Chain A
Amino acid sequence: MPQKRPLGGIKTHGEWLLAGKQLAKPDEYTVFEPQYVFLPMLQHIGAPCEPIVEVGQSVKLGQPVGDTEEKVAAPVHASVSGTVKSVEEWPRVGGGKAITVMIQNDHRYSVWEEQGHGELPSASVKDRLAAIRKAGIVGMGGATFPTALKLDRGEKEIEVCILNGAECEPGLSADNALMIQQTQKIVRGLRYIMEICSAARGLIGIEEDKPRAIEKMRRACEDEAGIEVETLPSIYPQGGEKQLIYALTGREVPTNGGLPADVGVVVANVGTAFSVAGALAHGSALVNRVCTVSGDVLHPQNLQFPIGTLVGDLIEHCGGFKGAPSKVIVGGPMMGRTIDSLQVPMEKGANGILVYAQEHDHLYAESPCIRCNRCLEACPMRLEPWAIDRAYRKQKWATCRWLQAESCINCGCCTYVCPATRRLAEKIVEAKNELARQRKEAE
């Protein structure tokens, strides 16, 4: 199978802003148990769930606390056992609020076994998809698209299922730790995904800076027919869906809303595959995930935590801040979102927490574009960021459209390399949103 060098991208190895903030044990994760969990009814792309529990009710681990009839959605489950303390609006990562179920942990972790929970679905595709939906699984690499819908291929032929173990965001090692600690289950999840999509081939793409994960995965896949582990160059954003497909298969996902399935490919994050294995082999719902807490905290580490744990609780568990924090980011340094309060919960797609103590304000002051072309060379989609930025600021929408602003994946490479520290990615996303709005209006 052809392996293509990535287009554009950046090498972030030895990134100076992250220097000295690495984890002591990037191959492991420990378990964290919070006092409270806050479960937003919207942790996925799509329609929000309705809360189906009441204040004062006691809930068990894995019990659904929110669900909906809407198609594009995923139910939310109690990630600890305990008592529902409140159901009210609560801030989310990325600004905005959502109805949130707050549960006080009784630390007993008594598992919910009613209504067929724990029962295994039959091997039929329909039953398995229903089980994945019921388990509340969404894309855990950060996209949070409901996995059951993604795997429902409909009429399309899927030839290759790809597991995304690239983990290209600098400084994150949660997927790395998961691949090393839960190798078998991840491979099993991939096998399920291949069966659901009736794909003969499975590929696991891992960046070359994770030799232990590659080695363990390779060994686990030795006897697996049709599954191969591929080493990818460590170039951000190698783990972008389109970039990963291009690197591993040479296929290009069509622009203007094309899906991986259009080129016979389905991509899932290794964490998603792990959850799929849990749902189909043990009947368990998505209640835990792993994230990397790094930056200016006392003990940077990978943690497995119940979904809905507050950012502040995780930072506290890591020994607190090292120096007064100036910025706290949920996700990785390239695509993560800043938060303005520590009292926001970690959702299903949250793969990291990064704390900056030092101010880097001078790095954010824009100066005029000198047309050096670095953004164009860094763009993994081969866009011309400087030109979109210029057209956007002049509100030339036709030009933005011609420049394919809507193909931007918001990886941030352009902003990263810009010598004039222009906020290119931010402006391109704004242009993209405006174009989408105009199109909706036209329809």
Chain B
Amino acid sequence: MAEFRMDKNESAEVFEKNKESRFPALQASPHLRRGSGTRAIMGNVLLALLPATLGSVWFFGPAVLPYYLVAVFFALAADALAQFLRKRRVDTFDLSPVVTGVLLAMSMPLGTPLWFAALGPALGILVAKELFGGIGYNFLNPALLGRAVLRLAFPQQMSMNPAPSPPFGLGQSVDAVASATPLITLKEGGTLSAADLLDSFLGMAAGKIGETSALLLLLGAVWLLAKGIIRLRIPLAFLAGIALMAFVFGGNEGLFGAGWQTVLGHLLGGATMLGAFFMVTDYGSSPSAPLAQILFGALCGVVTMLFRLYSPFPEGFTFAVLIVNFSVPLLNRVIRPRVLGEKNRSLLS
């Protein structure tokens, strides 16, 4: 081959040096990457949670901060422990435990022992996530599992709902006595006034640390949607499921008797908003085909309402979504999008 060397006149110096070189092993296409990683996604979720997080400080005071810190610390510790036990490298640290920790802190009532905030995320991450193979393989939402365990183990403390006392918890005294949340009012057959609903929307109603303000959570949701991190399908189906169930079965005078206040109360109250945009949209524990996503979201909404209306828990969201999570592997197995050019295929192929 040597005799067929190329002419060497005027070629650039670098070319001469590299002309005969062998390049690294052949690589499969594509040779472009968008280059935005898992960490960036999780970082954006944290940014989206920021308004509600800061809001919780405004509503309840600096006393909420230890909950966030402890929850995040133990989430990270649990993740590191699992990585160590599974002999994985910890340096691919992707911020997802931080999200789990923050979500758990947000769903605790102020006044519970701090070690709850340690136990919840640790359990959620070790049991719901790492036992099943780590991120992406969790068919249960880790934050919700931690929350469910806490609620079952400590029903009394976990169902407290302190009233906010802005600014920074200085307004009125924050006592740990359970106040009536909008959902409890509805559960007890009461009705909500427009003022109650406005409180719910702004975050002035009693509730958990980070769940009270629908407005601040929606701000975060807009960020997630704008960044393309979540799509509207699941949250809308979820909210539609809740609204429909509330409208049909939520009234005090039989079917279809619910007023708009009741429907809105269910939409704004409890964990609905936090759940709709930050929990049922969890990647690992939701299905992937668009149709399956709509079914999943609606099912989450419907089961949540079953709990709220017919169980002793006015707050059924946690258990409802965990139960529906179990259907995700099945949904992924039987529903997939119709491939371009595919014919004669029934809905459930």
Could you tell me which A residues sit within 8 Å of B by CB distance? 7, 10, 12, 15-18, 35-36, 85-86, 94-95, 102, 170, 242-243, 246, 252-255, 258, 298, 310, 312-313, 315-316, 319-329, 331, 333-343, 354, 356, 360, 363-364, 367-373, 376, 380-384, 386-387, 402-404, 407, 410-413, 415-421, 423, 425-426, 429
Q: For the complex, would chain B's binding face be called helix, strand, loop or mixed by DSSP majority?
A: loop
Known: A320-B13, A321-B15, A382-B338. A335 touches B29 (CB 8 A): yes
Interface presence of B153 (CB below 8 A): no
Interface string of B17-56 (1 = CB under 8 A from A): 1111011111111111111111011000000000000000
Q: Which of B72-80, B179-187, B198-206, B281-289 interfaces with chain A?
A: B281-289
Contact B28 A371 (CB under 8 A): no
What's the minimum C-beta distance from A12 to chain B, rounded to whole angstroms?
A: 7
Contact B6 A313 (CB under 8 A): yes
Q: How many Å lie between the Cα of A423 and that of B23 in the bound state?
A: 20
- 29 A-B Cβ contacts within 8 A? A35-B6, A36-B4, A246-B340, A252-B341, A253-B341, A255-B342, A312-B19, A313-B6, A316-B15, A320-B14, A333-B30, A334-B31, A335-B30, A339-B26, A342-B18, A342-B20, A368-B136, A368-B137, A370-B38, A370-B41, A371-B136, A384-B289, A407-B340, A407-B342, A412-B29, A416-B30, A416-B32, A423-B28, A426-B28
Chain A hits for B37, CB < 8 A:
367, 419-421
Chain A hits for B31, CB < 8 A:
327, 329, 333-334, 336, 338, 354, 356
Q: How many Å lie between the Cα of A254 and that of B345 in the bound state?
A: 12
Contact B340 A381 (CB under 8 A): yes
Interface presence of B96 (CB below 8 A): yes
Which listed residue (A16, A402, A415) contacts B30, Cβ 8 A?
Answer: A415
Contact B34 A417 (CB under 8 A): yes
Given pairs A252-B342, A254-B341, 20 additional interface contacts (CB within 8 A): A10-B34, A255-B340, A298-B12, A312-B6, A320-B11, A320-B12, A321-B15, A328-B23, A335-B30, A343-B1, A356-B31, A369-B136, A370-B135, A372-B41, A381-B340, A384-B288, A403-B336, A412-B29, A416-B30, A419-B40
Interface presence of B343 (CB below 8 A): yes
Chain A hits for B29, CB < 8 A:
329, 331, 333-337, 410, 412, 425
Could you tell me which B residues sit within 8 Å of A by CB distance? 1, 4, 6-7, 11-20, 22-38, 40-41, 92, 94, 96, 134-137, 229, 231, 283-284, 286, 288-289, 332, 336-343, 349
Contact B24 A327 (CB under 8 A): yes
Contact A337 B26 (CB under 8 A): yes
Contact B38 A320 (CB under 8 A): no
What's the minimum C-beta distance from A367 to chain B, rounded to whole angstroms?
A: 5
Q: How many Å lie between the Cα of A384 and that of B37 in the bound state?
A: 19
Contact B283 A320 (CB under 8 A): no
Chain A residue nearest to B25 (CB atoms) is A340
Contact B284 A370 (CB under 8 A): yes
